[in-house]
Amino acid sequence: MTPDQFLEGLSGSRLVAIVRGTDGQAAAEAALAVMEEGFRYVEVALTTPDALAAITRIRDSAPESCFVGAGTVLTAQDVHDVVAAGGLFIVTPALAESIEVGASLGLPVLAGAMTPSEAHAAMTRGATAVKLFPASFGGPAYLKALRDPFPRIPFVAVGGVGLNEAPAFWEAGAIAVGPGGPLIGDAASGGDLDALRERARAFLALAARHGEGKQS
């Protein structure tokens, strides 16, 4: 998957699931559950115990046209570990050396940034898109203000984005949103997968309605 393919696919799906928990096996099960419901892009945070093993399991078992990546990727070693585990994209929480390293390997990179300077720097370093994080800090109005001077930067809103908040971020120009806690809940720590699937269907239905509205 090239960065351009990642960007096109993410723009179409409008969603990337963020899996972070206390158990790698449970995280893998949660990721596969949301993929089975229709999420195409899922990141597993490296702060999750046994995250690399979880990524490998997800990569081996993911439905066709579904892609697993890693989040909280900070160092060059992190990038190489993720590639070895089978991760197909990386996500950072901030400006880190992993951006340049990932880009040099041809990986799609979703780079964390908050300020205009950080967003510009992320793209200069080779990011495929900017993860506005934490998006809840400034809200949709802040995203809209960022996009005024940077209309060509693809932004993904992450951090405190639930079902009630997602539509406003899409309307403000985010190509996608990244639900974490509002989607995954406690499923990545051994919680209820049936409830997770129900939440996943709600997010997917919301994204589909938003897409229909844009086309009409």
Instruction: Report in angstroms the alpha-carbon separations of 1 from 8, 41, 55, 63, 215.
Output: 11, 12, 16, 15, 27
Residue 199 to residues 34, 71, 98: CA-CA distances in angstroms? 9, 21, 31
- Counting runs of H as helices and runs of E as strands, what totals does the chain give? 10, 8
In contact, 33 and 197? CB cutoff 8 Å: yes
In the sheet that holds 90-91, the strands lie side by side as 17-19, 41-45, 67-71, 90-91, 109-113, 129-132, 155-158, 176-178
DSSP 8-state class, residue 75: S
φ and ψ at residue 150, rounded to 5 degrees: -125, 60
- What does each C-alpha distance from 154 to 3, 13, 131, 144 come to in angstroms? 12, 14, 9, 12
Q: Tokens 């998006």 label which residue?
A: 135
Annotated catalytic sites, by residue?
A: 43, 131
